Amino acid sequence: MRLGILDIGSNTVHLLTAQARPGGRPHATTSDRTVVRLMRFLTPEGAISEEGIRALEAAVSRARAAAEAERVETLLATATSAVRDAVNGDEVIARIEAALGQPLQVLTGVQEAELTFLAVRRWFGWDAGRILLLDIGGGSFEFSAGEDETPEIAESVALGAGRMTIEYLPQDPPGEDAVANLRAHARATLAPVVAKLNALPRPDHIIGSSKAIRSLANLAGREVSGLGFDRTVMSRSALKSWIPRLARIPASARQELPGITPDRTFQIVAAAVSLHTAMKMLDLDELEVSPWALREGVLVRYTESMSWGGVGI
């Protein structure tokens, strides 16, 4: 059947369509996304402004039209951190559902972590052994770890790249003091999660997912062979070397760098600082980059539920 997965995130509204069946590998057919950058529409009280809601409605309407043009039979619509944490979330959800013409499932941070972990496990396979996964979004930073398809630990913290840019790096380019303040905040926020993760056995593979991590890996990563396919690996030292360079140049100049798309230029510094801080605290020398993330996890979970006669995510 033809499925559509609509991910209403903190940075983009992204529609992925795929041919899928229970027990089979999904084949993506179309990817359509609208950059919204919801964090710039947050009021001081933590609400999404009217302008932001209208931007969401327009993006969702476009995605709905694209899904209809692709003859999508079932559309799985999810929302994550920005909608989840907004103080006017109920109103935002109601208006998204009206534009979408169907219910919206708002994922918790733990659900985000679990679904992304499922996708990564399926991509890397059982031979990857025990996995530690780091995933940075616009509003939150997810961590999950385990040796099965359901992680033993799944955590979400409010260290998303967009959120941290607004709160700690509002100047363009940010100064050294602002970067240092963000690093200190990240250390304090991550300490409880790091303690839980360090109590587990050492992982066999450390994996990063999300567009932000893939963008950073385009700058600081390298291609290697293994597990039957080429993969991208990024070291902590290479990531560290890029942070002062990224922080010195304005956002308009960052998009000239390899793999940094215009929608990531403003928040790539915050993503790099949060990720490097996490890698240092967890004593991770490098991580591998996964091409699969949340959307693929939603797709896998849904097709599995079909095979057991269930519905939904």
Q: Report the pLDDT averaged over residues 82-100.
A: 96
Above 70 in pLDDT, residue 308? no
The predicted pLDDT at position 228 comes to: 54
Instruction: Give the CATH superfamily of 2-106.
Output: ATPase, nucleotide binding domain (3.30.420.40)
Above 80 in pLDDT, residue 87? yes
Looking at residue 180, what DSSP letter applies?
Answer: H
Q: Report the pLDDT averaged over residues 24-36.
A: 85
pLDDT classification of 310: cutoffs 50, 70, 90: very low
Distance of CA 167 to the CA centre of its chain: 19
* Type and span of the H or E element at 125: none
Above 60 in pLDDT, residue 307? no
Comparing 9-23, 94-108, 231-245, the range with the smallest average pLDDT is 9-23
Each residue's pLDDT tens digit, 236-246: 999 999 999 99
Q: Report the pLDDT averaged over residues 85-111.
A: 96
The predicted pLDDT at position 296 comes to: 92
The predicted pLDDT at position 309 comes to: 46
- The length of the chain, given as a count of residues: 313
Q: Report the pLDDT averaged over residues 5-16.
A: 94
Q: Where are the domains of the chain?
A: 2-106, 110-294
pTM recorded for the entire structure: 0.93
Q: Report the pLDDT averaged over residues 10-39.
A: 87
Above 70 in pLDDT, residue 227? no
Above 90 in pLDDT, residue 57? yes
Cα–Cα dist 149/142, whole Å: 16
The predicted pLDDT at position 305 comes to: 83
212: exposed, middle or buried (Cβ count in 10 Å: 0-12, 13-18, 19+): buried
The predicted pLDDT at position 119 comes to: 96
Residues 6+ apart with CB under 8 A from 145: 130, 131, 132, 133, 151, 152, 153, 197, 200, 203
Q: Do domains 2-106 and 110-294 have the same CATH topology?
A: yes
Q: Report the pLDDT averaged over residues 134-144.
A: 96
Fold entry, domain 110-294: Nucleotidyltransferase; domain 5 (3.30.420)
The predicted pLDDT at position 311 comes to: 44
Q: Report the pLDDT averaged over residues 274-286.
A: 98
The predicted pLDDT at position 230 comes to: 67
Task: For the chain, give the mean pLDDT.
Answer: 92
Q: Report the pLDDT averaged over residues 161-182.
A: 95
Each residue's pLDDT tens digit, 152-168: 999 999 999 999 999 99
Each residue's pLDDT tens digit, 186-216: 999 999 999 999 999 999 999 999 999 999 9
